[in-house]
């Protein structure tokens, strides 16, 4: 009798939802995601990126969440519209993306409710705070005592995303663990907005020397759910902390995916 051949299959990569923005390209409304976020998923945690269009109410959020092992909430040039947090009117010329707001704010809440692991970056950090009931400063650089957190005026991405200032990690927090026990970390900085009133149900994981909240961890869920104001996805494999952060996100997504498929 012929022997049965054993087939070894590779572990299934976690499916990571990646939020998109709306842009107009050659006169057409287009859903876009920066490649650095996609590479963050593929290179940072070995995941399968699934782009989530900014369709607002036309998107079945529940069906999307049910397919995901993790959710990456991306950064963007646009700002969250201030009516979502009862903020003052935005300055003239501020770039907004109402379709993204209408998609991502409920998507964050649905993911947290379902226990889907979540990593939110820059605009995503701000969206997480707003979705949970917090508010934002729209122009940090105009506030007394704050440093200028905006990107350097250079076309060179290595300069734009270069290390800009230190942050202090919360003693005993998750980020200190990911940073090998050190409570100081150098980060890049490419944002105008920042957290004003901190939402309930989150704990601060990192603060800039000027008081800007740079990272939080969601405590209302037992799953991995964190956000950062900086951009760890840029050349993720070249920064030890970024790699540790994406690795922890990936581990949580794999564990969640295993449980999800066993239901």
Q: What are the residue numbers of the active site? A: 122, 231, 233
Residue 159 gets the label, from left (phi > 0), alpha (psi -120 to 50) or beta, of alpha
Q: How far apart are CA 8 and CA 114, in angstroms?
A: 32
Work out the number of other CB atoms within 10 angstroms of the CB of residue 203.
14
Instruction: Name the token pair of 260.
Output: 């999800």
Q: Contact 76/96 with Cβ under 8 angstroms?
A: no
Work out the number of other CB atoms within 10 angstroms of the CB of residue 162.
15
């Amino acid at each position: 009798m012929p022997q049965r051949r054993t087939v070894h299959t590779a572990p299934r990569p976690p499916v990571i939802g990646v939020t998109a923005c709306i842009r107009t390209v050659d006169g057409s409304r287009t859903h876009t995601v920066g490649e650095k976020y996609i590479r963050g998923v593929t290179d940072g945690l070995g995941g399968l990126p699934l782009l989530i269009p900014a369709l607002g109410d036309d998107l079945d959020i529940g069906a999307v969440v049910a397919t995901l092992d993790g959710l990456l909430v991306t950064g963007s040039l646009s700002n969250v519209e201030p009516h979502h947090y009862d903020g003052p009117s935005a300055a003239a010329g501020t770039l907004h993306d109402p379709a993204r707001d209408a998609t991502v704010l409920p998507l964050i809440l649905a993911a947290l409710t379902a226990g889907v692991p979540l990593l939110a970056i820059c605009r995503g950090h701000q969206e997480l705070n707003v979705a949970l009931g917090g508010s934002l400063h729209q122009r940090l650089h105009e506030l007394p005592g704050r440093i200028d957190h905006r990107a350097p005026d250079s076309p060179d991405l290595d300069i734009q995303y270069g290390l800009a200032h230190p942050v202090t990690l919360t003693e005993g927090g998750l980020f200190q663990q990911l940073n090998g026990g050190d409570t100081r970390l150098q980060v890049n900085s490419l944002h105008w907005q920042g957290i004003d009133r901190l939402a309930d149900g989150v704990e601060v994981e990192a603060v800039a020397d000027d008081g800007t909240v740079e990272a939080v961890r969601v405590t209302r869920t037992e799953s991995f759910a964190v956000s950062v104001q900086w951009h760890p996805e840029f050349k993720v494999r070249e920064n030890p902390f970024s790699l540790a952060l994406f690795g922890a996100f990936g581990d949580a997504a794999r564990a969640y995916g295993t449980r999800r498929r066993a239901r």
